[in-house]
Structure 1
């Protein structure tokens, strides 16, 4: 099923999509305490999902809302945590190439500098990347939803998008094995990890971060739905694509992930407990950002990420401030 968090008449509501595309207000349809919000639904997965399924099957038109009459929020408005991986080889290789050329462009002889950086191996993808997943922790308090406007951070002149999808942890666990990891996934959503690229380049000169390059209000866009795992039988057979103002910018496949969510879960949970509501980003697909394609964002741009079976996440870019 598809679940979302919306605002309607000034109140936050958790909804499920009906077969005809309307939104069933779950708390209005049933007083069960585990239907009061998305976090509660996730924590009570074994009880909540059968109840929601029954409400959808029995509904005769009560407690329904039109998508046109609501404002979508991030489906999990305040995740328990956000960990974002770098799992697509093409993206990593192309991002390193762009970084090398950007740095070389600041030197007196850019081509000579570029060749020197390339020969040094400093911008090569290290062998360990193929052996273990790498991630950073995002700011869980800065999430935006479908249709939301992304605020242009005052400290940046170069704003970028990143095409990702994400898994949401549904069951608490530690030392989770790869073969049991999918049982701990509640569902999947679309994730656009908006980035202030000029600030990110500054962050990483100290070989830490990203920090301020990712940390600004509204920067973590997710949604519109969390699609429960039973409706995504193969999360690695999905086409991913991005459009800006209706023009396709890049197309990729979820199956190109070097380290799949199951491997990421096993890696993360080594002597560390994962909790319901933890969000794991896939990392950016190849050709999934302006840092690779050269098409950065401008005020007023409409950015859409579409993933098979998950939906379309649309955001508008705000004015430079």
Structure 2
């Protein structure tokens, strides 16, 4: 089942996507509320959808499927980590192999497919990142990977837009990304329930979904989701260690290898080729079984100045 949130003549609605149509749920139904009520609530709502609330996808504007309370973004593709490290004259650190690390990114910056993406203030090296995200549907703590399978309610595409020059400077403080990462994050085009993807699951538990990214209609990179170093169940178990994952939490796979972002290609070649994203560039990410998300970069605002630190006497 594919579940979407959309705008139709100024009304925000959610519904089930069937072929090239979307079957609207009763007005006022919020997809995040349904996620919090569990998988059965999603199926019950879809089964009760009235026949008159059916719209062609071409006559609605798709929004982000829901607005998540938290977004954990992992780094699970060794090829991506290796390419980025090479740009700094480095190799993949041994610590990366020990456990699936992540950072929290900004849930207030979530947008949907079709939305414009402003260049972050002060950014000259703007980049995309090709990811798939798992969505938590049941609360849980200290889960095993086997238990975690039942806590994932669906999957969606994720584009973690990145200001590489801002990110590079701020991470020298060794705290993690901040303004380099929090301007925009695309989720969409819809939430896909796990049953729709079981045919792509490998014996090791990975999802063998083909990922492709295009800039202005030209393919830039691609990979398979099966190249993740950890499964989403293992990531969920790690995220729940010593704390609680809750319905609506988003767990990003991290950027795929094979050119899943420009920075990886820059690291391998030693030059900014392909060039950083500029206004009017359009980025499209496609994944088997998940659909496609497309966004166009637009001119951003100038940075509001903040003075440097007051140095200690």
Q: Where on the TM-score scale, by shorter chain, does this alignment land: which range?
A: 0.7 to 0.9
Aligned to 1:266: 237
User: Distance between the aligned counterparts of 2:101 and 2:142, measured in 1?
Assistant: 18
Q: Does 1:66 align with 2:56?
A: yes
Aligned to 2:77: 88
User: Distance between the aligned counterparts of 2:48 and 2:218, measured in 1?
Assistant: 39
Aligned to 1:136: 103
Aligned to 1:118: none
TM-score by length of 2: 0.88
Do the aligned partners of residues 273 and 280 (structure 1) sit closer, same or farther apart at CA in structure 2, a change above 3 Å counting?
same
2:287 aligned residue (307, 313, 318): 307
Aligned to 1:114: none
2:167 aligned residue (177, 182, 200): 200
User: Distance between the aligned counterparts of 1:262 and 1:155, measured in 2?
Assistant: 38
Shifted more, 175-184 versus 8-17: the winner is 8-17
Aligned to 2:88: 99
The structural deviation recorded for 1:312 is: 0.4
Q: Does 1:289 align with 2:261?
A: yes
Q: SS state of the match for residue 131, structure 2?
A: strand
- 1:241-264 per-position Cα deviation (integer Å, ceiling 9, x unaligned): 101111111110101111221111
Provide the aligned C-alpha RMSD in A.
1.5
Aligned to 1:319: 299
The structural deviation recorded for 1:151 is: 1.1
User: Distance between the aligned counterparts of 1:245 and 1:278, measured in 2?
Assistant: 32
1:210 aligned residue (177, 181, 188): 177
- 1:108-159 per-position Cα deviation (integer Å, ceiling 9, x unaligned): xxxxxxxxxxxxxxx2222121120111100001101011100111221111
Aligned to 1:225: 190
User: Distance between the aligned counterparts of 1:140 and 1:71, measured in 2?
Assistant: 21
User: Distance between the aligned counterparts of 2:39 and 2:290, measured in 1?
Assistant: 22
Aligned to 1:187: 154
**Matched length:** 286
User: Which residues of structure 1 form unaligned runs of 5+?
Assistant: 29-34, 101-122
Runs of 4+ in 1 over 3 A off after TM superposition: none
User: Distance between the aligned counterparts of 1:72 and 1:92, measured in 2?
Assistant: 32
User: Distance between the aligned counterparts of 1:194 and 1:127, measured in 2?
Assistant: 27
> Are the equivalent residues in 1 in contact too, given 2:39–2:137 (CA < 8 A)?
no
- 1:165-220 per-position Cα deviation (integer Å, ceiling 9, x unaligned): 0000000011111111111001000000000011001011112211110012xx10
> Which structure has greater helix proportion?
1
TM-score by length of 1: 0.86
Do the aligned partners of residues 99 and 21 (structure 1) sit closer, same or farther apart at CA in structure 2, a change above 3 Å counting?
same
Aligned to 2:37: 44
The structural deviation recorded for 1:68 is: 2.1
Do the aligned partners of residues 165 and 46 (structure 1) sit closer, same or farther apart at CA in structure 2, a change above 3 Å counting?
closer
User: Which residues of structure 2 form unaligned runs of 5+?
Assistant: 266-272, 302-313
1:152 aligned residue (119, 143, 156): 119
Aligned to 1:249: 220
> Are the equivalent residues in 1 in contact too, given 2:15–2:46 (CA < 8 A)?
no
